[in-house]
Structure 1
């Protein structure tokens, strides 16, 4: 058979293909996703409902923390009032029995604390030490009453927050249901290390943030919010180090705001529908985000034709694209609050 002059080229082609399999030369089959599927209206409704739900939940948690502290303050206040009342009555009895006070001090022996205090206020010659003790008692009673009123208001606020959460949960469910979303199951745990929690305000809420940090995954000068960058860094620190793309331009969704990242389940780009080890990688990563949603400030997670939302759990999600990028079968999408 005659030799062909293209034999060296053919050899190199075969060798390149072998190397691609053996050493993992980048073989991305799909470009970076350019949308997350679903309609603009649906995504906007969903985003607003989930954000409002999270805000109400944060307010509820803060209110519950205040309730715990108020209950402790009230318990201590009651003990202080009882102790000071006993001390004031001891002073009153001593001064009365010693003949130091006028007949008006009969009020001081009353078992009614209010009457005791009012009586002592009328007596001008108690002395500085006794007067200070009376003032302490009056202040303690005033603080106790104020704490009790604040506790009642706090509990009423919690009812309002719970109602808001239920309202926004319903809005999110309707937005998904309008596009065929039904409750389903999905990954919720992972053995990967827990992340360092995102920075929060003193009351437990998340601070407002803009797209102010350089996106290390972007080649075109994209930006991320500090919280999204933190989530990306914590994801990588926990061992999820395959290909990722975060910022991209656009007029809607979280990516143009620097609040979302797409984590491919393959090392060098976005490939076809995941299976086997790649599918397990995506399951574990999605479960890690669900498990650590509060710590990272997760808005929602999309993976393998499903979306996870706080207060909803996993729901089927139609990307309306019919290919791995829009169906999220080749990457885990993370949106951050």
Structure 2
């Protein structure tokens, strides 16, 4: 069952402030609520989203091209086998003509001993002409098919080279954008090894369809995209059922577009302290699971515990302002395509 807060967003903060004040007066240790923060500047967030989308689109085109090339290669192999067969058949016709010398149809007919033999030879000549003509036409057609198949394969190879170049460029752009908040590659997280998510719907060519913030967000009073809802539901189905909030009316980022969710590490919700122990292990596993299923779900990037996963760069360090919210040490951030 989805964990929900006992109070609404509008009255939550005053109540939390009241509880925190009471806790201080009474000497209690109740952790304060910490609003999740996507981290970085608007420029950085826009760059991350743009480069991740471009990388995913190029990767999709690359995979489609590889699939087409594989099919074309099979077709070319079959055509080449047929080409060998027809070449041999035409070779037989040429060899037969050589053995018979310059015997012409007219000579064959004139050498007929009777009218009946004349008609038989005429019929045979017609059949031979049809057979040999068919073989020659077939050879020419198959040669053209082979030529076209080779051109198509070469076209796919060039397309793949183009998309690889795009991916490399987007990787460089993402690394440049991250340079101000990242010290380089990082180790990522373990756990969440199951690629069990139900894939989100794609277009017939394998690309992601364009989606708007059109569905009610079950975690708030806002909206989310169908792909985000699928990711949310699949995350819960995989066993990650602690508090989550998706839509948030922020000035920038993916949350106000219904394309992001924040998953609390603590069982009771977002806390103003870094996750440790079981909460840290929960966040590690959840972040790893999202990356493992990124291609199935349509993930743009994941941020957790001072690290960010981008499809073009992999895991890299990611520093915020130092608070648990900004450093993402109290929640896992998931952005969707």
Say yes or no: TM over 0.5: yes
Does the Cα contact within 8 Å between 2:213 and 2:223 map onto a contact in 1?
yes
TM-score scaled by structure 2?
0.77
Does the Cα contact within 8 Å between 1:270 and 1:330 map onto a contact in 2?
yes
Shift in Å, 1:127: 5.4
How has the CA–CA distance of structure 1 residues 237 and 30 changed in structure 2, closer, same or farther, with 3 Å as cutoff? Answer: same
User: What is the rounded CA distance, in whole Å, between the counterparts of 1:58 and 1:193 in structure 2?
Assistant: 19
Q: Which residue of 1 aligns with 2:180?
A: 178
Does the Cα contact within 8 Å between 2:305 and 2:329 map onto a contact in 1?
yes
Q: Which residue of 1 aligns with 2:68?
A: 66
Of residues 45, 48, 60, the one that matches 1:46 is: 48
User: What is the rounded CA distance, in whole Å, between the counterparts of 1:92 and 1:60 in structure 2?
Assistant: 46
User: What is the rounded CA distance, in whole Å, between the counterparts of 1:216 and 1:28 in structure 2?
Assistant: 25
What is the DSSP-based 3-state SS (H/G/I as helix, E as strand, rest coil) of the residue aligned with 1:250?
coil
Alignment length (residue pairs): 289
**Match status 1:200 vs 2:195:** no
User: What is the rounded CA distance, in whole Å, between the counterparts of 2:133 and 2:73 in structure 1?
Assistant: 29
What is the DSSP-based 3-state SS (H/G/I as helix, E as strand, rest coil) of the residue aligned with 1:294?
helix
Residues 149-199 of structure 1: CA deviation (Å, up to 9, x unaligned) = 111121122222111111110110011112344222121542446112222
How has the CA–CA distance of structure 1 residues 193 and 64 changed in structure 2, closer, same or farther, with 3 Å as cutoff? Answer: closer
**Match status 1:285 vs 2:286:** yes
Q: Which residue of 2 aligns with 1:294?
A: 295
The runs of 4+ residues in structure 1 deviating greater than 3 Å are: 87-103, 123-136
TM-score scaled by structure 1?
0.77
User: What is the rounded CA distance, in whole Å, between the counterparts of 1:197 and 1:303 in structure 2?
Assistant: 23
Shift in Å, 1:245: 0.6
- More displaced 10-residue stretch of structure 1: 274-283 or 243-252: 243-252
User: What is the rounded CA distance, in whole Å, between the counterparts of 1:240 and 1:100 in structure 2?
Assistant: 86
1:1-337 equivalences under 5 Å are: 29-30=32-33, 32-33=35-36, 35-90=37-92, 102=104, 131-192=133-194, 194-218=196-220, 220=221, 222-271=222-271, 272-320=273-321, 322-337=322-337
User: What is the rounded CA distance, in whole Å, between the counterparts of 1:282 and 1:182 in structure 2?
Assistant: 21
- Structure 2's unaligned 5+ residue stretches are 1-29, 106-124
Does the Cα contact within 8 Å between 1:308 and 1:315 map onto a contact in 2?
yes
User: What is the rounded CA distance, in whole Å, between the counterparts of 1:138 and 1:145 in structure 2?
Assistant: 11
Does the Cα contact within 8 Å between 1:32 and 1:269 map onto a contact in 2?
no
User: What is the rounded CA distance, in whole Å, between the counterparts of 1:215 and 1:191 in structure 2?
Assistant: 27
- Structure 1's unaligned 5+ residue stretches are 1-26, 104-122
How has the CA–CA distance of structure 1 residues 178 and 124 changed in structure 2, closer, same or farther, with 3 Å as cutoff? Answer: farther
What is the DSSP-based 3-state SS (H/G/I as helix, E as strand, rest coil) of the residue aligned with 1:328?
coil
User: What is the rounded CA distance, in whole Å, between the counterparts of 1:187 and 1:244 in structure 2?
Assistant: 20
- More displaced 10-residue stretch of structure 1: 258-267 or 174-183: 174-183
Shift in Å, 1:282: 0.3
Does the Cα contact within 8 Å between 2:191 and 2:284 map onto a contact in 1?
no
What is the DSSP-based 3-state SS (H/G/I as helix, E as strand, rest coil) of the residue aligned with 2:334?
strand
Alignment root-mean-square deviation, CA: 2.8
Shift in Å, 1:87: 3.3
Does the Cα contact within 8 Å between 1:40 and 1:252 map onto a contact in 2?
yes
What is the DSSP-based 3-state SS (H/G/I as helix, E as strand, rest coil) of the residue aligned with 1:326?
coil
How has the CA–CA distance of structure 1 residues 95 and 45 changed in structure 2, closer, same or farther, with 3 Å as cutoff? Answer: same
User: What is the rounded CA distance, in whole Å, between the counterparts of 1:232 and 1:211 in structure 2?
Assistant: 14
Does the Cα contact within 8 Å between 1:29 and 1:269 map onto a contact in 2?
no
Does the Cα contact within 8 Å between 1:188 and 1:290 map onto a contact in 2?
no
How has the CA–CA distance of structure 1 residues 173 and 90 changed in structure 2, closer, same or farther, with 3 Å as cutoff? Answer: same
